[in-house]
Amino acid sequence: MMRLKKWAKELAIFIVVLAAFSWGMDQWRKPQPPEITHLPDITLVNGQTVSLAALSAEKPLLIYFWATWCGVCKLTSPMVEELNKDGVNVLSIAIRSGDDERLMRGMAAKGLTFPVVNDQLGRLGAEWDISATPTFVILDKGNMVSSTSGWSSRWGIKMRMWWAGV
């Protein structure tokens, strides 16, 4: 019984330290979005022009910064696709992932249909101060309400989206 209590205490301490470390990393790598008034409309690879302010006006918008060459993104992109199919308001920005044709061919091969902006030269990523991929940013009514970099679970993103919509 004593061993079980000691093990439970050590596990609880580990979880608290891990959560604090994770929160600290998120704060350290937190992107700095440009002023929403300075955000130009952006064009998706399908030619449609969209406004981030307008997309986030009715319900929170998940902006998924990723890259085709990013190993972790290969794990998170299918999860983002599921969220998109579930009706979550998603916009993705592919950073330095080749030309439009190559990007779309790669997405089609993986069954990815979420809306995508091709940030071929990394300018949007630089404007948003994105230092790691994947990075998930949630905008609500034009304001950044949440961001996290690195792997995240589907439920982790859903909880952030729910929290943003409250």
Going across the sheet that includes 135-140, the strands are 116-119, 90-95, 61-66, 135-140, 143-149
User: Phi, psi at residue 112, to the nearest 5°?
Assistant: -95, 125
Question: Could you tell me the fold of the domain covering 31-165?
Answer: Glutaredoxin (3.40.30)
What value does the mean pLDDT take over residues 12-17? Answer: 84
93-105 pLDDT, tens digit each: 999 999 999 999 9
Measure the CA–CA gap between 53 and 159, rounded to whole angstroms: 22
Q: Going by C-beta distance under 8 Å and a sequence separation of 6 or more, which residues neighbour residue 114?
A: 64, 80, 81, 84, 90, 91, 92
Q: How confident is the model at residue 89 (pLDDT cuts 50, 70, 90)?
A: very high
What is the rounded average pLDDT of the residues 29-48? 72
Token pair for 30: 């937190």
User: Buried b / exposed e across 40-65, counting CB within 10 Å, b at 16+?
Assistant: eebebbeeeeeebbebbeeebbbbbb
Phi-psi region of 111 (alpha: psi -120 to 50; beta: other; left: phi over 0): left
- Considering the entire predicted model, what is its pTM? 0.79
